[in-house]
Amino acid sequence: MVHFVGAGPGAPDLITRRGAALLQQADCIIYAGSLVNPALLGLAKPECIIYNSAEMTLEQVLAVMRQMEAEGKTTVRLHTGDPCLYGAIREQMDALDADGISYDDTPGVSSFCGAAAALNAEYTLPTVSQTVIITRMEGRTPVPEKEKLASLAAHGATMVIFLSIGLIDKVQEALLQGGAYHESTPAAVVYKASWPEEKTVRCTVGTLASSTRAAGITKTALIVVGDFLGTQYERSKLYDPTFTTEFRKGESV
């Protein structure tokens, strides 16, 4: 059996209890080396075999899983954040299906949630944005034509941009091209959310590239953009004294 597990954004106590239990029971752990906190490997049994997938191809990862399965052993495939975002799990799952190897998936706290926590921010403020666009800038990995950053930026919604900090000049340019954000629209960069070396940089779309450079951030960071980082919003209906819900009768004013 193979267990895909989300490691969370970095802090070892942000893994789920289920994920931690699976690590403790694993005969083999294949972890995404550059981003998973090595402290989590401390949960492994002494005899657990550990591989760093940063140095492996898909074929090599699958070969380890097949070998473990043949020996009746359990493998944990440990991905950073939640495996469903940029985790390359589909290709592993399809290969396991073809081999008749069973697997399951334990979610984790994605770094986009870790970044919001680092900023004490709410992505979905009433009247500001009720939508979060999770995307990336095209680089060596292409992005479908209809999802180009500039066209997504035309919505003016909250945006969280993964895997793109090394292309920060192009990101800034595309965000402005969209037409809905302005030089003065708030933005932030969160480096290594929830790690001891976490860093947050608050800036605007117009100063995104220069602020990122000034902070010396070149990897493991998210770019977040939108007026949710500003000061204007309306309070929620849910907790408004005059609003009636299924659980509470609103006061008349």
Q: Which residues bind ligand SAH (CB under 6 A)?
A: 9-10, 35, 79-82, 85-87, 110-111, 114-115, 162-163, 190, 192-195, 220-222
Closest separation between CB of residue 232 and ligand SAH, Å? Answer: 26
Task: Indicate the residue among 9 and 178 with the shorter CB distance to ligand SAH.
Answer: 9
C-alpha 250/C-alpha 253 separation (Å) is: 9
Closest separation between CB of residue 47 and ligand SAH, Å? Answer: 28
Task: Indicate the residue among 10 and 178 with the shorter CB distance to ligand SAH.
Answer: 10
Closest separation between CB of residue 96 and ligand SAH, Å? Answer: 19
- Position with the least CB separation from ligand SAH: 81
Closest separation between CB of residue 192 and ligand SAH, Å? Answer: 5
Task: Indicate the residue among 69 and 114 with the shorter CB distance to ligand SAH.
Answer: 114
Closest separation between CB of residue 104 and ligand SAH, Å? Answer: 17
Measured in residues, the chain has a length of 253
C-alpha 167/C-alpha 39 separation (Å) is: 30
Task: Indicate the residue among 164 and 185 with the shorter CB distance to ligand SAH.
Answer: 164
Cβ atoms 229, 188 nearer than 8 A = yes
Task: Indicate the residue among 128 and 190 with the shorter CB distance to ligand SAH.
Answer: 190
Question: CA neighbours within 13 Å on the CB side: how many for 239?
Answer: 4
C-alpha 7/C-alpha 198 separation (Å) is: 17
Closest separation between CB of residue 131 and ligand SAH, Å? Answer: 19
Closest separation between CB of residue 203 and ligand SAH, Å? Answer: 16
Task: Indicate the residue among 28 and 193 with the shorter CB distance to ligand SAH.
Answer: 193
Task: Indicate the residue among 125 and 163 with the shorter CB distance to ligand SAH.
Answer: 163
